[in-house]
Amino acid sequence: MTDPGPDVSELSFEAALKRLEEIVRKLESGEAPLDEAIELYNEGDRLKKQCEARLQVAQARIEQIQFGPDGAPSGTAPFGGE
């Protein structure tokens, strides 16, 4: 069995994405024995969920500039017009 590594919540988005890409490459290559492949798949699933959650938080923080009828900036609104 492999070392599960750091808790995914402790990884930066970039580090989690890089680890997820490594896992995908290893699984696609078929070089991992079955038990390790299952463990890697589970780790990849946790990483994917963590990345998605961080992207949702980031998206919620992005604001869109709103323009008035004269074309001048008039304020901001949440991303996606929410």
Tens digit of each residue's pLDDT (9 = 90 or more) over 6-61: 688 889 999 999 999 999 999 999 999 999 999 999 999 999 999 999 998 887 77
Task: Indicate the number of domains in the chain.
Answer: 1
CB 44 within 8 A of CB 24: yes
> What is the structure's pLDDT at 1?
47
- Residue 69 DSSP one-character state: T
The C-alpha atoms of residue 50 and residue 13 are separated, in whole angstroms, by: 8
3-state class of 76 per DSSP?
Answer: strand
The answer to the question of residue 1 being in a domain is no
CB 77 within 8 A of CB 56: no
First to last CA, the chain: 45
> What is the structure's pLDDT at 80?
65
Domain that holds residue 27: 8-81
> What is the structure's pLDDT at 50?
95
